Amino acid sequence: MEFSFNGLFKNLKSLVNAKRSFLGVDIGSSTVKIVQIRKEEERAILETYGEIALGPYGNMKIGQSVKLPVDTMAQVIKDVMKEANAKANAARVSIPLKSSFVKMINLPINQEKNIADIVTLEARRHIPVPISEVTLDWWVLPTPEKEDKKKQEKASVEVLLVAIHNDVIAEYKNIMATAGLSASGFEIETFSLIRSGIGRGSQTIAILDIGATTSKMIIVDFGVLKSSILISKGSQDLTMALSQSLGVDFSKAEEVKREIGLSDLPEHQEISSVIEPVLDYIFHEAAIFLRDFQNKYGRTAGKLIISGGGSLLNGLSAYAVKKLTIEVERSDPFSKTEHPAFLSGVLKGVGTNFSVATGLALGEM
Ligand SMILES: Nc1ncnc2c1ncn2[C@@H]1O[C@H](COP(=O)(O)OP(=O)(O)OP(=O)(O)O)[C@@H](O)[C@H]1O
Ligand SMILES: [Mg+2]
């Protein structure tokens, strides 16, 4: 089970026009996920996708996080492309939220004229490292109509400030170049989640991505990111807790997690009692985040979309509903792409894990 990829599209090889095919590459802490999409006028056609575990490349187990050197990471990307028969030569790549700085700031201005100067100046106060060491980006957020009056009185605008350390970008560029790919863009993973997870005009929606080492949560208002947090626990913490309390090695614990997960059966009581406290940490942070948003904006997220490998845990949706009293839906990024109708069922099941990679590829359109 070292590779989990899907070869269903292999026979469509002849149809692939590498020039118009784009790759989304999501380099996670425990897996690399790729999605290749072909652009045909305004249509996004899903060509192939694949996933590969990083553990075995660094003497670790499947499901374990590992930091690999540039050369090895480039080899991983080549391997997963080969397995998935992905031929695109241009790729967009995700930058982990943990290597980025994302903050919403309020600026006391209502004219966009000299906003660039003001933002750069303000950024120095908000970003914990020297500005010369980061690549800075920012967006003035649209003010919803009902807030207009209040905002004008305060004469302030909301600005989303984003910074990525230059060393991080340099490392990712290096990985892509070594893998023989041209990197046409980099994007913080949470922005990719929005593109693949949310329809235009959707009101207030929360997305929770449960990865191996961290969980990422964002709240999006009318398609625009309003707030994000990084939660320092992920699905690997469930495996480690199981390994410790059941006295089994990591691989066995990983198997128990994936096969049993959260179960109501009396014979699985012990497993649930180990898993639940770790999940409760994540959901506690999530609940505080939702509450803070409501206090600040007076609106509540109407729905929570869950994504990432950790969201595949049996019983997770129901548990999230119970803990957060919110409607929960699994992300279905492939629904934003065209594919043969008979594959819809299969793709809905596996898509969740490709939310970031799909969002990246769609961003090239
Ligand atoms: N069926 C499953 N049930 C439960 N957990 C699963 C299942 N499949 C995968 N996982 C877990 O999902 C995690 C990997 O998810 P994902 O690929 O989203 O993480 P990542 O992107 O590598 O990590 P991060 O986002 O923290 O950098 C692993 O901890 C793995 O054990
Ligand atoms: Mg991830």
Nearest atom within ligand 1 for CA of residue 32: 22
Q: Where in the chain is the domain with CATH 3.30.420.40?
A: 1-89+332-365, 200-330
Q: Which of 37, 39, 42, 10 is nearest to 25 (CA)?
A: 37
Architecture of domain 1-89+332-365: 2-Layer Sandwich (3.30)
Ligand 1 contact, 214 CB (< 6 A): yes
323 C-alpha to center of ligand 2: Å? 23
| pLDDT computed for residue 33 by the predictor | 98
CB count in 10 Å sphere of residue 302:
12
Ion ligand 2 — residues with CB < 5 Å: 28, 211
Q: Where in the chain is the domain with CATH 3.30.1490.300?
A: 99-165
Question: Which span out of 39-48, 139-148, 156-165, 285-294 was modeled with the highest average pLDDT?
Answer: 285-294
Q: Long-range contacts of range 1-5, CB-CB < 8 Å, 24 or more positions apart?
A: 1/62, 2/52, 2/53, 2/56, 2/62, 3/50, 3/51, 3/52, 3/53, 3/79, 3/80, 3/83, 4/51, 4/52, 4/53, 5/49, 5/50, 5/51, 5/52, 5/80, 5/83, 5/84
User: In 3-state terms, what secondary structure has residue 320?
Assistant: helix
pLDDT, one tens digit per residue, over 201-255 is 678 999 999 999 999 999 999 888 999 999 999 999 999 999 999 999 999 999 9
Atom 4 in ligand 1: residue holding the nearest Cα = 313
Domain 99-165 annotated CATH 2.40.40.20: no
For all residues of the chain together, what is the average pLDDT? 89
Ligand 1 contact, 55 CB (< 6 A): no
Architecture of domain 200-330: 2-Layer Sandwich (3.30)
Report the share of the chain in percent with pLDDT over 90.
Answer: 73
Band (pLDDT 50/70/90 cuts) for residue 196 is: very high
